[in-house]
A and B are shown apart, each in its own frame.
Chain A
């Protein structure tokens, strides 16, 4: 199980990457910052950075517009 933003939970599966988590959450936003267990993940690494079972991810969307 993975925890997103200290609130939402999704099932973990082997080999899951940061990109898989973003897809599962429907996070398509351009201005986001991702940390896995407190460690910043660069956008270049989303596709191959593995997420361990039980990890806590923070997916921070920076507001814009208005």
Chain B
């Protein structure tokens, strides 16, 4: 954006950014500007004309609505010239004549110097103090906040009135109350008491803050309304975090073929009802309509395909299948068959690497050449899985099962398979490359339920921002964020409104706090309090989650998976396994050998460099693991201490009995 310019406001020089909204500038300078249709959370409409100012530019003077006007170079603004005041008086008098008992109109009239309500009284006069004054705020809120058009105006002239379609209650209205929130007169009242919340106004007011942020900020931030979580594809590729070819690489020249804009421009249906929860102001779920399938039992049929979500597309990159058609076709069949896309994608990527490495051959795959990028063959595996026949059945068992079978039956090298098989606790790793973030490796591997996608938050904090440099910092992040995530699950609340849209002033917090988006955490606490009547803060929230999190860990322990050895990732998650991988990022790895380990990589064989780097990274991981265990109140073997259970009030005899023999 260009540098600030100077304009004249009532004869005084004012600095402003060109293109900035004029009304906001004038209000920030303390100018007295009456408004009615304007609402700070809505796009300007310029319909009431009360905010007019006189602008002189290039020798011409004219009255303009300041809410829709933009700051321009050479502009001279008069906010209280006689033509301005006369215009406002006339408008205010007309409003007062028509709605003489509406408090907001009375206030505007007073500010404009109108005291006589009789001048414009007549047959149109409405004595209702809560009359609709046709300001359009409700209509705009419906469209801008929740992308609906439930409300609109009908009739012309004196008969113009706000209504739902055909004057009837529109069944599509989900009662989001956005219209009531922005109504300046009380013409729209919330009369419902669904679910009997303790304080519906508290819930509504904080929800509306989110709605307003979505409308104003999302287009410049994550574009969730445009493309949903698919926006992350582009980001991950550009930061070397997009898993390509079974997590070997973090980016790929062909990744642009599945960037979010490709789906947006060629496939996704925009502006339709959200498939997740109707009325959500983020509406990030996307769909492609009339998509013609090419394979499987529905080949030739036109269908509606949900997505792609980021992880769907990330899994495609992991399989080397950089084709938007494939992403949708594969996603449709995964959904139709009830197959998890992440598990299948990561498992298939493992199969492909094993095939290319000669661990398995066409003899085992039923003749399919399962190299990276083998799209039709991958789809055939999926169809086989659904039919319960062929090699697809094996793929459906997951990486852990395949490793064991291939070692047992084909004599495969167990160490190599352990290194490249991206699973922890039997669950396939979700689609982020964690090699350069030891905190993220621990976030994935320590997750009680396995390395799934809602634990993938620490990469930027650790790898890019370097904001959690010490082991204690990382352990603190590994304490707070998994518990915060657990809390969303406990409450049944979506996390996307936490940090997929961010208040403008979030950047004024120090980074450690900013990462938590404090204003949005407060929103969730208010939702909780508004519903239950129980005030919440960080400490109480963490305690609620920690009780469940520790019980989950104990259940995991009882099932034989809740100890240290089950929190160790395959080395592919931590660093380069193969020479090909090392060489692809040789500059980075060589630099680390020099600067961190003090080893001169010059002349050393790549295998030696891989070994040195691996020893360092594995040691780093163990330190993070142990520090995080300590922070969580767990033993060195990763089992919750009884003292911690007491602290949380969950030291029930049947619980402590499970872990008593596993204490330090």
Contacts and interface: CB of A to CB of B under 8 A. Distances in A.
Interface of A: 5-8, 26, 28-31, 33, 40, 43-48, 58-66
Contacts of A60: 465, 467, 507, 511, 514
B497 to A, nearest CB: 11
A61 B310 CA distance: 18
Given A29-B239, A31-B222, A44-B17, A63 B458 contact: yes
Interface in B451-510: 453-461, 464-467, 469, 495, 499-500, 502, 506-508
A62 B515 contact: yes
Contacts of B495: 66
Contact of A62 (B220, B466, B469, B514): B514
A33 B403 CA distance: 44
Given A5-B464, A7-B466, A30-B222, 10 more contacts: A5-B466, A6-B469, A7-B469, A28-B235, A31-B221, A45-B1, A60-B465, A60-B467, A60-B511, A62-B499
The winner among A7, A45, A64 for most chain B CB atoms within 10 A is A64
A5 B465 contact: yes
Interface string B600-624: 0000000000000000000000000
Nearest to B464: A61
Contacts of B3: 48
Given A47-B1, A61-B465, A28 B514 contact: no
A6 B457 CA distance: 21
Interface in B211-241: 220-223, 229, 231-232, 234-235, 238-239
Given A6-B466, A28-B235, A29-B235, A63 B511 contact: no
A66 B460 contact: no
Contacts of B469: 6-7
Contacts of A47: 1-2
A64 B238 contact: no
A63 B466 contact: no
A21 to B, nearest CB: 14
A63 B507 contact: no
10 contacts: A5-B466, A7-B469, A29-B460, A48-B2, A59-B465, A61-B465, A63-B460, A63-B499, A63-B515, A65-B222
A62 B502 contact: yes
Nearest to A25: B464
Contacts of B433: none
Nearest to B508: A40
B194 to A, nearest CB: 30
Contacts of A8: 466
Nearest to A48: B3
The winner among B232, B466, B517 for most chain A CB atoms within 10 A is B466
Contacts of B456: 65-66
A44 B239 CA distance: 23
Nearest to B495: A66
A44 B317 CA distance: 35
A48 B495 CA distance: 36
Nearest to A26: B238
The winner among B235, B456, B466, B507 for most chain A CB atoms within 10 A is B507
A11 to B, nearest CB: 16
Given A26-B238, A65-B310, A66-B453, A58 B511 contact: yes
Interface in B285-341: 310
A40 B509 CA distance: 10
Contacts of A64: 222, 232, 499-500, 502
A24 to B, nearest CB: 14
Nearest to A28: B238
B17 A63 contact: no
Contacts of A40: 507-508
A65 B466 contact: no
Given A48-B3, A63-B499, A33 B507 contact: yes
A43 B495 CA distance: 26
A18 to B, nearest CB: 12
Contacts of A7: 466, 469
